[in-house]
Structure 1
């Protein structure tokens, strides 16, 4: 939200009050050094006692939830009744220290400090290693009122020259957010607008820090778009808390941010295989489903999950969680037959209850549906006639909803696609008294948490996975998320990639998208190019709106392309599963914007049409039928995984690829573990694994975790030697076309390079 009219003036009707100096600073908390600072900052100079009779005064608390993370809480009126929801922010001993001198007061937590000027002009600096990361300076922090009298708290943090800003959720515009206006407000807007399904009030910079605004409702960001040298954020509230998170590198920023807001769960291994859907409005029954599955098997196309979209339930009954008896008369038998084909089953759900659904009357009678302030059930006709929302702020409503899902799990369903959750009204009264503005974005968190907890309870923590569209800060704990409704075009494929990379830079470890696009029917060329992109993503799903996505309906080459890239992904599962573990334990996403791996390479700052899959594989999707692609190669000699050619960077490369190829390059010095299985994602990754070494320097030593086994590869002169922490399983070491295979039980092998 913009408040100013250029540099000097305010917009018509806007008033502003900014801290101008420090009245006093007090250390609070246990210990002689204090645990926090409380600062009182008048918004006019204090020249004499008469000035002490006027306000407003901003009260600022500086505190640290963990080392390397410092929060500021800005308060105008403290008498406001606290209302939820609130983000769940984790804390640990930050080892906080407080120091003073005549000019400043400083709070330090780990390697990050916040320094407040006690004399002279108002200034707050965040420092690390003696360097100022960012600052709140003159007329940055403020109490703002607009023409209607609405009350806002605003902060502006300085942007250094050349500093790039990323994140703020799954956003489909340019990856670098500088110059953009971003409102954190979940909306069902597709992938081609400024709206987003997954809004996260967290941004990451390439200047050694990130910022998390701890407000679950609407946060308006002006990223160098009102004051071009600052990031501005504002909320309509009497209190605003934000955290500055020090890296210094982007991975460390994400590690600390996800430690603060929650790390992603580790999805089950089977979920990394290929998912096939009925699509949305297509006609299907068990015979149709079986024909798709048998068609995939006949063509040797490995399939792991089958998904039933909305019309597994009767029309106008979404959701009643009952199979449509006209087309699925024997759901238990059908699910058993699908399991006999070694498939997992996913079904579509959402948190909306249509008026025709039997659950509407039941939920209304029990008080589980969201109500207006007058006590009537909130309803509209936009998605389903007369639909209502489940009120997930009520523990009883969550239990009621969970019980409906438990019945499906008992039938044999394995997981759920948790669609929607963005269209949440504000003219309502939540059961727990939550503030409607704050609950709008947070609703999806309660929704997906409820479903995820049901799966953990009944399938076990290691088997729980959802396929979610909406999210907010902290929702990364409940994977997987997919990109929502995109068109079937190269442009939509590119915007989907931008959204996924942006989400990864917002703390989300796992992400997917509709292969071929959702709206419309892709051309064979778009479908085949999207296959390569989709199978080189965290999770891979064939899904559409009004047309099926089985490959033989496009052309025979599509079958071959799908077979090639599905088997490629399954063979890479030893490598991909370790990348998934890193997302789970460290918060580093599987699909990584180039800046995340190469923060010191200015050539990577704006790259948004390529990415790193895990730490060592560079992927550059092709966005044309002709196969022309341009991508950037960082420093070193990289090797094409498909074909073995080498490319030396740093430089831009132009190539032409057939539909059976894509730029997939291996980072120099990497050892890629390749599995012995190519027809399923869940297997013993260490059994028969091949270790492919690429451009190892002399004396290099690389540890390669594969499942529960760790291999160590060392280059000694012209010899590669490898050892295993578990020598009982057969494995191999490869360089180029030369491969040596270890005998089971030997525990090591040697390969001569020549």
Structure 2
């Protein structure tokens, strides 16, 4: 939200009361309290009829400073996010100077004018709040608190959720407000009031409601964030690298859970409005097997339930008369099952009356049940602040799990009204975004309870801060076009820089039917994402129905088979990347700046990414196969061909539909499984370490391989006299190779290639 009219003036109708002076400082051992006067106090009379802003600094964790700005402290506090507070800082006042220290991060302030608050790490100034930065704004009867932090020359800002515009947020106005807007609008399904700066820090605005960001778009020299009400709380999170910021941010707000190995395989959906029954499902499952396309999960979309009855958790008996038997038969084919749900209960659903009578649905202010006809006729919304409603909802999920369901697609959660009353009395404005957190948590927790920790997986569309704890998330409703494919990738990279480790999208695009070439290009991209799902709206996304070219290596089924098998072999590598997301918050799909923060050429790259730490992927966004991508310094090697490519430059290539730039970085080690039919196998049995070694003798790398059972094996890889040597306590059953080279089997725990 913009409050000013250019640099000099305030917008009509806006009253701006800025912190003009650091009037006073107080401290305890762990807190620094600042009185910010909104006028310069020259004498006692200046203290009359003048609002103040009370600014409290403390630390919830090492290298994190929390800033709480309060106008009227007795006002209703906003819904804040759950934080895991692990440490306290130290505060002190020395004369006119106050400092709050937390690890290597510190906040400093000095009595007097102008207002000043500086954040530094290891002596380096990261950003500051200065003259006309902190303000109390009044507009049309509402009060807002806003803050501005300085931007340095060349500083770039990332994150703020899954946003489909440019990866770099400079110049953008962003409202944190979950909406069902598709991938081609400024709206977002997953809004996260957190950003990462190339300047070596991050900022979380700890408010679950509407937060308005102006990223160099009102004052081009500053980031600005504002919230309605009387209180603003934000946290400055130290780096120095973007990875460090994500590590500290996810330690505070929750790490992504580990998901089962089978979830990294291919997911195939019935699609949305298509007509299907068990015979259709079997035809698709058997068709994938007959064509050698790996399949791990079959997804039943909305119409597994009867129309006008969503969500009643009941199989439509007209098309699925024996759901338990069907699920058992699918399990015999080694296929897991996911079913679609949402948090809305249609009036026609058999469980609506029970939910209504027991008070499990959101209420209007007059005490009646809130209903509307958006999406499903007469639907009510489950009130997840009511523990009894949560238990009731989870009970229906337990029944489906007992029938043989393995995962849930938690769709929607964005269409949440604000003119309602919650069971716990929560502010409905604050709950609009936070609703999805309660929804996905309820579903994920029952999956962990029934299936066990590490076996739970959802396919979620909506989220906010903390939602990364409940993976996987997918990119929502894209369209069948190259432009939408590219915007989808931007959304994935943006959500990765917002703390979310695991992400997917609809291969081929959701709306419309993709042409044959687009489908194949999107298949390669989709299979080289964290999670891979064929899904669409009004047409099946089964490869052989896209084209019937089974005779060549360029047909849709052949492309799906090639990249599906490759992904199955990459399972040990992906599980290791998923473990890193769980341990540190580093996403599996990584914007280039996460791995190459010192290379200024990568700052704006949003058409390529790293899959895990060592594989560069450049999807092809053109029908003719032309693709431009950037390689940092060093000798990169194609995983598909074994050819070397020198970095430190832009590269232009042309690829057929069964290929794309997929390169192992210098010093990269890619563990490949022996099985190419599924990801949940014994990874150490027949494992191959594919190595593109560092340029110099003496290069060494340690790699941990996580088996699906949870066993960990460590391999040490090094270069000696031009040869690559690998050693492990695993005595045999694994081997070593260079990309495109011959595999050498280990003997007595050691393998060597020239």
**TM-score scaled by structure 1?**
0.97
Residue number in structure 2 paired with 1:31: none
**Structure 2 contact 100–106 (Cα < 8 Å) conserved:** yes
CA deviations on 1:442-501 (whole Å, 9 max, x unpaired) are 000000000001101111112100000000000000000000001011011000000000
The offset of 1:81, in angstroms, is: 3.6
Worse overlay, 398-407 or 701-710: 701-710
Aligned with residue 299 of structure 1, among 278, 288, 291: 291
Structure 1: gaps spanning 5 or more residues: 29-33
1:497 is aligned to 2:489: yes
Residue number in structure 1 paired with 2:415: 423
Residue number in structure 2 paired with 1:143: 136
SS in 2 for 1:345: strand
**Structure 1 contact 568–678 (Cα < 8 Å) conserved:** yes
CA deviations on 1:692-730 (whole Å, 9 max, x unpaired) are 121333111111211211111121112222211222544
Worse overlay, 605-614 or 707-716: 707-716
SS in 2 for 1:518: coil
SS in 2 for 1:672: strand
Residue number in structure 2 paired with 1:24: 24
CA deviations on 1:561-609 (whole Å, 9 max, x unpaired) are 0000001111111111101100011100000011111111111000000
Residues of 2 paired with 1:679 and 1:330: CA distance?
A: 29
The offset of 1:382, in angstroms, is: 1.4
Please show how residues 718-729 of structure 1 align to structure 2 within 5 Å: 718-729=722-733
Residue number in structure 1 paired with 2:564: 566
SS in 2 for 1:200: strand
**Structure 1 contact 172–193 (Cα < 8 Å) conserved:** yes
SS in 1 for 2:283: helix
SS in 2 for 1:565: helix
Residues of 2 paired with 1:655 and 1:235: CA distance?
A: 47
Residues of 2 paired with 1:735 and 1:580: CA distance?
A: 23
1:222 is aligned to 2:214: yes
Please show how residues 54-65 of structure 1 align to structure 2 within 5 Å: 54-65=49-60
Residues of 1 paired with 2:123 and 2:76: CA distance?
A: 40
The offset of 1:238, in angstroms, is: 0.9
Residue number in structure 1 paired with 2:274: 282
Residues paired across the two proteins, number: 742
1:648 is aligned to 2:636: no
Residues of 2 paired with 1:288 and 1:235: CA distance?
A: 50
Residue number in structure 2 paired with 1:594: 592
Describe the shift of the 1:17–1:312 C-alpha distance in structure 2 as closer, same or farther (beyond 3 A): same
Please show how residues 231-246 of structure 1 align to structure 2 within 5 Å: 231-246=223-238
SS in 2 for 1:65: coil
1:91 is aligned to 2:85: yes
Worse overlay, 244-253 or 715-724: 715-724
Residues of 2 paired with 1:613 and 1:77: CA distance?
A: 48
**Structure 2 contact 32–92 (Cα < 8 Å) conserved:** no
The offset of 1:735, in angstroms, is: 6.2
Residue number in structure 2 paired with 1:748: 750
Residue number in structure 2 paired with 1:703: 702
SS in 1 for 2:170: coil
Residue number in structure 2 paired with 1:42: 37
Aligned with residue 114 of structure 1, among 107, 118, 142: 107
Structure 2: gaps spanning 5 or more residues: 550-554, 707-711
Residues of 2 paired with 1:422 and 1:261: CA distance?
A: 20
Residue number in structure 1 paired with 2:512: 520
The offset of 1:733, in angstroms, is: 4.3
Worse overlay, 665-674 or 561-570: 665-674
CA deviations on 1:401-429 (whole Å, 9 max, x unpaired) are 10111111111101100000000000011
**Structure 1 contact 687–731 (Cα < 8 Å) conserved:** no
Residue number in structure 1 paired with 2:552: none
Worse overlay, 635-644 or 116-125: 116-125
Residue number in structure 1 paired with 2:64: 69
The offset of 1:239, in angstroms, is: 0.8
**Structure 1 contact 690–734 (Cα < 8 Å) conserved:** no
1:185 is aligned to 2:177: yes
Residues of 2 paired with 1:366 and 1:604: CA distance?
A: 55
The offset of 1:731, in angstroms, is: 3.2
The offset of 1:119, in angstroms, is: 2.7
1:343 is aligned to 2:335: yes
The offset of 1:379, in angstroms, is: 1.0
Describe the shift of the 1:149–1:482 C-alpha distance in structure 2 as closer, same or farther (beyond 3 A): same
1:7 is aligned to 2:7: yes
Please show how residues 403-442 of structure 1 align to structure 2 within 5 Å: 403-442=395-434
The offset of 1:736, in angstroms, is: 4.8
SS in 1 for 2:374: coil
Residues of 2 paired with 1:657 and 1:119: CA distance?
A: 63
Describe the shift of the 1:730–1:45 C-alpha distance in structure 2 as closer, same or farther (beyond 3 A): closer
The offset of 1:668, in angstroms, is: 0.5
Residues of 2 paired with 1:221 and 1:212: CA distance?
A: 11
SS in 2 for 1:154: strand
Q: CA RMSD in A?
A: 1.1
Residues of 2 paired with 1:440 and 1:667: CA distance?
A: 43
Please show how residues 671-690 of structure 1 align to structure 2 within 5 Å: 671-690=669-688
Residue number in structure 2 paired with 1:80: 75
**Structure 2 contact 26–93 (Cα < 8 Å) conserved:** no
1:315 is aligned to 2:310: no
**Structure 2 contact 639–739 (Cα < 8 Å) conserved:** no
SS in 2 for 1:251: helix
Residue number in structure 2 paired with 1:100: 93
SS in 1 for 2:429: helix
Residues of 2 paired with 1:301 and 1:188: CA distance?
A: 33
1:717 is aligned to 2:721: yes
CA deviations on 1:287-316 (whole Å, 9 max, x unpaired) are 000000111111111100000000000000
SS in 2 for 1:462: coil
SS in 1 for 2:620: coil
